[in-house]
Amino acid sequence: MGRLKESSPVILLLLLFPLLHQSLTKVLGESESTRSGKEEGVAPEIHCSRERSRAAWQIIQDYLTPFVERERYQIPNKCRLHPGNDLYRDQEQHKVHVDIYEWKCGYCRKSFNEEKFLDQHFATRHYNLLNTTGTKCLADLCGALHCDYVLSSKKVKSKCNPAAAAKNRHLCESLANTCFPVSQGPAASRLHEHFLRQFCDAHTCTGKNKPFPRGGKKKSGVFYLAVSILTLMLLPLFYLLVFLHQREKRTGTQVLRRIVKTGKKTKPS
């Protein structure tokens, strides 16, 4: 009986240990989670699509910038197409594409195996570098710049909305007027007309005009790259076959000469 009383505190501790362990683990887990949250930072809510902003920027680079550079024209700062008016421009410039499966942060050199994880890293760790003052979301111009046309892998025909087409055309024309005012000289006037033909004319439900009819930046396609690699791989094989053929030809000629010489030496009795 005495032994039972002495062992009662030990038994009680053994019974309470799982509960204590569970509570301690929960507290430590919450503390670790809070600390990690503080380290990562709580990003402010930004209503601007990074993917669509990237698409809009690429459209500008492919279908507008070559013509602007040809005219040696400086896009004014008040133009919403100006690089300084892209919310994500600085972060995009700090992306280092090392390899097909490696992306690196230009701020802290941390590596990721996909671009989307690098985007998430920017949103949580480097959001303080975004200049959120003013209207700087390039994705807001996607309607005028035909982002959906570029992002859609399959050009599915959908019912045209005349009101949406008119709204996008109005935005497109306002960009032309702000970015390339005809009063700024011949270069601006030519680019103003180019912008209307390249982007604005397609905002109609007639279906006659397609986006980017004047073309854009010439790209070295994947096909040409594949052909070049294949040529480099097959060229040594071609020379090897030529070498073997020439050697076989020489060997056959030498054997034939030996046979002829042997025939000449052997005379019938």
Query: Which of 40-49, 63-72, 123-132 comes out lowest in average pLDDT?
Result: 40-49
pLDDT of res. 187:
97
pLDDT of res. 118:
95
> Which is more confident, 22 or 125?
125
Contacts of residue 213, Cβ cutoff 8 Å, sequence gap at least 6: 197, 198, 201, 202
pLDDT of res. 179:
98
d(CA 52, CA 138): 8
CA angle 227, 233, 237 (to 5 degrees): 125
Query: Which of 23-32, 72-81, 166-175, 211-220 comes out lowest in average pLDDT?
Result: 23-32
H helices present in the chain, as ranges = 2-40, 50-63, 65-71, 89-93, 115-125, 142-145, 147-151, 162-179, 186-195, 222-265
Give the CB-side neighbour count of residue 145, counting CA atoms within 13 A: 24
Has residue 28 got a pLDDT over 90?
A: no
Contacts of residue 27, Cβ cutoff 8 Å, sequence gap at least 6: none
d(CA 130, CA 128): 6
User: pLDDT category, 145, cuts 50, 70, 90?
Assistant: very high
CA angle 213, 73, 194 (to 5 degrees): 20
d(CA 255, CA 188): 79
Has residue 195 got a pLDDT over 60?
A: yes
Residue 80, token pair as written in the block: 């919403």
Has residue 247 got a pLDDT over 80?
A: no
pLDDT of res. 83:
92
pLDDT of res. 268:
56
Q: Which amino acid is at 50?
A: R
pLDDT of res. 46:
84
pLDDT of res. 208:
84
Give the CB-side neighbour count of residue 14, counting CA atoms within 13 A: 5
> Which is more confident, 122 or 220?
122
178 close to 78: Cβ distance less than 8 angstroms: yes
User: pLDDT category, 165, cuts 50, 70, 90?
Assistant: very high
pLDDT in tens, 50-75: 999 999 999 999 999 999 999 999 99
Query: Which of 27-31, 52-56, 73-77, 169-173 comes out lowest in average pLDDT?
Result: 27-31
Q: Which amino acid is at 155?
A: K
